[in-house]
Amino acid sequence: MASVCERIPRSWWAALLVASLMAVAMPLAAQAPSASASGVHPADSLPAASSEPTPARTTAAQPTVLPSASADSTAKTRTSTIPVLNAWLGAAPDNVRRETPRETLSGFIDAAREQDFARAAHYLNLSRLQPGEQRKLGPQLAHQLFEVLENQVWFDLDAVNDDPNGGLDKAAAVRELQVAAVPIKGGTQGIRLTRVADATGRQVWVFSVSTVDAIRDLHKRYGPPEFLESVPSWMKERPVVGLDPWQWFGLGLLLGACWAIGLIVQKLAGGMVRALIKRRGAGPDPKLTRALESPTGWLTGLVLLLATLPGVRLQAPAEQLLTRLIYIAIIFSVMRAAVRLINHGAALFEKHAIASIDEDLKRRAIATQVTMLRRIGVVLVVIVGVAVALMQFPVVRTVGWSLLGSAGIVGAIIGFAAQKTFANLFAGIVISITQPIRIGDTVVVEKEWGQIEEIGTTHVVVKLWDLRRLVLPIVFFLDQPFQNWTRTDAEVVGIVQLHVDYRVDVELVRQELDKILKDEPLWNGKTGALIVEELHTETVGLRISLSAADAGKLWDLRCKVREKMLAFLQQGSHRLPVRRVESLTVDGTRKVDGPQ
C-alpha cells in the first residue's frame, strides 16, 4: 500500500504533461485542413534530393492538386504538394540536357552563346527568387553568369565529370561538384553544380543556390565595365581574333602606358645612381649600371602590365595566354639581368685580381678560371630560365612530368645521344679546376705550334704561329697527349745549331755569342751557352742554348742569333766548312784537294 502511495505523485505529473501536449497539438491539427483547402502550401525547401537547404519564402503559391467531386474525395483525405524546380520559369525546353555535370555546363554555355538566356536560365537553381521574379530575373542572372565565366574561367569540358551520379566511379554518388573557382576578396568563390529533382522527379544537375546568390557580386567585379554603354555598337559586336575592338584598343593603351612608365623608371633610376656615384666618387661600375638600366625598365613595365591587365576585362582564354606571356617576359628579363651581372662581375673581378699580380703565369691562371666559371654560370642561368619559362605552359609541364615518370628510358636515350656534349661540358669544369692548359699557354698539338687563344665550354681555340686557328674539342686535352711549353713557367729555352769547319776557333765563336747576347733585348740573361755537340766527317756541330721570357720572344731571338753568327762565320774563310777530296797520283803519292 505504501508503494502505491509513493507512485501517485509521479503519475500525476505524467498525466499533467500528456494533457499539455494534447492542448498544443489540437489547434495545429485543426488549422492544417484549412490551409490545404485554400491551396496555399509552404515551400521551404526542395525535395530531399537537394543537398542545399533553402530558406522559406514569404509567399510560395505552388501548383497544387485540388480535391475531386467524387464521394471518395469527400472523405478525410488531403492532397500533398510537391515543390517544382524553377516552376515559374515554365517547362524546360526539349533541348535542355541536365543529366550529367558535363551536359549542364556545355548546355548552359551553348545556350548563352546563342543569346538564348531564357533557355540558359533553366540551368540555374532559382529557388531563392520569388515566384514572380524567376521568369524576369532568371535570364538576367544567366546572362551575368555567362559573362563572368567567359571572362574568368576557361573550361576544359572533357575534364568535367560526365557521370549522372557525379562520382569518379559508378558506385559513388555525389550531390555537389565544384567546376571552377573565381577569385574574390579574401579567397575564392566556387562555381558549383548541385543535383536536384525536376518537375518530373528526375535527378538533374543545375548551378547551385550559392552560386546563383553570388552572380551579382561576381558580375560587378568581372562583368563588362559600365562605360561600355557609351561605346559604339560596332566596337562591341565585331570581334577580331577573339577580342572586341574596344578590348584591342584598351590593350594597346595599356601596353603603351606600361612601356612609357617603364622607360621613365629606367631613366630616373639610372640617372639617380649615376648622380650618387658622381657625388660620392665611388660606387658601382658605371658600365654595370648602364647594363642594368634596361632590365629594370622592362621589369617595371611588365609587372605593372601584369597588375593592371584584369582591368581590360578580356575573355578568360585571352587573359590567361597574355598572363603566361607576361610571366615568360619577366623570366627572360630576370635572366638577361642575371647574365649581365655575371659577365660584368667576372670582368670586374678579373680586372682587379690581375692588376694586383705581377707574375704572368698566375694572371693567365686567374683569367682561365674566371672565363670558364663565367661561361658555366651563363649556361646554367639560360637553362634554368628557359625551363621555368616553358613550365608556364601546361602541355610542356605535362610532358616534363611524363619524361620524369619514364626517367630510366629517357635518361638512357638522352645520355647516349648527348654523351659527347656532356663529356665536353664536364671536361671544361675539370680543366678550369686542374688547369692543364690556360689562356695564353704555348702548346704543340697535332704537330702544330701555337698559343691557347680561347677556352670555351665545349671547345678550345689554338692560335697557330701563321695566324690560323685550330679548333679542338675540350675533351681532347684530357684524352690526348700534347706539349705545353708554359705549363709551370713562361720562360722557354731553345737551341741554334751551327756546322763549321774543323779549323774554326771555338772559343772565338763563344766570345762572339756573348757579344751578340749582351746587346740583345729579347734575351732574358739566364741561358746563353755554346758547346761542341758533334763531330761529323767534314764539319763540327756547334749547339747554342738560348732562353727568353716566352716562346714568341725565343723564336725571334733564335732567328737573330742565327743571322748574326752567320755573318761572323763569313768573315773568315777557314770558318766555313769545305769538302776535302783525297786522290792518288800516277807516281802513287796522295793529293788532297782543299784547304790544308
The sheet carrying 459-464 orders its strands as 469-473, 459-464, 448-455, 442-445, 483-484
Average pLDDT, the chain: 74
More confident residue, 434 or 52: 434
Distance CA 452, CA 490 (A): 13
Of the candidates 272, 317, 335, the residue with the CA atom closest to the CA atom of residue 151: 317
Residue 481 has pLDDT above 80, yes or no: yes
pLDDT in the model for residue 252: 84
- Mean pLDDT, residues 377-405: 72
Q: Tell how far CA 186 is from the center of its chain.
A: 29
Note the CATH architecture for domain 492-569.
Answer: 2-Layer Sandwich (3.30)
Which residues contact residue 469 at a Cβ distance below 8 angstroms, ignoring those fewer than 6 apart? 453, 461, 462, 463
Task: Please determine, for residue 243, whether its predicted confidence score (pLDDT) is greater than 80.
Answer: no
Q: Which residue has the cell 478525410?
A: 76
Q: Where are the domains of the chain?
A: 1-36, 87-223, 247-405+427-431, 492-569
Per the CB < 8 A criterion, the answer to whether 324 and 392 are in contact is yes
Amino acid at 214: A
Taking residues 304-312, report their average pLDDT. Answer: 82
pLDDT the model gives residue 81: 46
Handedness of CA 135, 136, 138, 140 (dihedral sign): positive
pLDDT of residue 208: 92
Cell of 401: 612530368
Residue of higher predicted confidence among 69 and 158 = 158
Q: Residue 195 burial by CB count (10 A; 0-12/13-18/19+): exposed, middle or buried?
A: buried
pLDDT value at 160 more than 70? yes
288 falls in which pLDDT band (50, 70, 90)? low
Q: What does the buried/exposed string (b/e) look like for 521-542 if buried means 16 or more CB atoms within 10 Å of the residue's CB?
A: ebbbeebbebeeeeeeeebbeb
Percent of the chain with pLDDT over 70: 69
Cα separation, 275 vs 176, in Å, equals: 63
Contact between residue 559 and residue 566 where contact means Cβ atoms under 8 Å apart:
no
Who has greater pLDDT, 478 or 423? 478
Q: What is the distance between the alpha carbons of residues 586 and 465, in angstroms, rounded to a whole number?
A: 59
Q: DSSP labels for 447-494? A: TEEEEEEEE-SSEEEEEETTS-EEEEETTHHHHS--EETTSS-S-EEE
pLDDT value of residue 169: 59
Q: Which of 117, 205, 122, 119 is nearest to 162 (CA)?
A: 205
pLDDT at residue 395 in the model: 66
Q: Give the pLDDT score at 510.
A: 92
Q: At what angle do helices 407-417 and 419-434 cross, to 10 degrees?
A: 70
Quote the cell numbers at residue 509: 765563336
d(CA 258, CA 301): 5
Cβ–Cβ under 8 Å, residues 316 and 359 = no
Average pLDDT over residues 308-323: 75
> What pLDDT score was predicted for residue 575?
80
430, 483, 486 from 436: Cα distances, Å: 9, 10, 10
Query: Rounded distance, CA 464 to CA 296, Å?
Result: 44
- For residues 413 and 244, what is the distance between their CA atoms, to the nearest angstrom? 48
Average pLDDT, integer, range 295-302:
85
Residues 6+ apart with CB under 8 A from 550: 360, 442, 486, 490, 491, 492
Question: What value does the mean pLDDT take over residues 428-454?
Answer: 84
Convert the pLDDT of each residue in 497-555 to its tens digit: 999 998 889 999 999 999 999 888 899 888 899 999 999 888 999 999 998 887 778 88
Read off the pLDDT band of 51 (50, 70, 90): very low
Confidence at residue 583, expressed as pLDDT on a 0 to 100 scale: 64
pLDDT digits (tens, 9 = 90+) for 57-114: 333 333 333 333 333 433 333 334 445 788 788 888 888 999 999 999 999 999 998 8
The answer for residues whose C-beta is within 8 angstroms of residue 163's C-beta and 6 or more apart is 100, 101, 169, 170
pTM equals 0.48
164-200 pLDDT per residue, tens: 887 765 556 678 888 888 877 777 888 899 999 887 8
Q: What phi and psi values does residue 211 have, to the nearest 5 degrees?
A: -70, -45
Q: Provide the 8-state DSSP code for 260.
A: H
| pLDDT (tens digit per residue) in 249-262 | 778 888 888 888 88
Average pLDDT over residues 281-310: 76
pLDDT tens digits along 379-391: 888 888 888 887 7
Which H, E and C letters describe 142-178, residue by residue? HHHHHHHHHHHCCCCHHHCCCCCCECCCCCCECCEEE
Q: Give the length of the chain.
A: 596
Residue 55 DSSP code: P
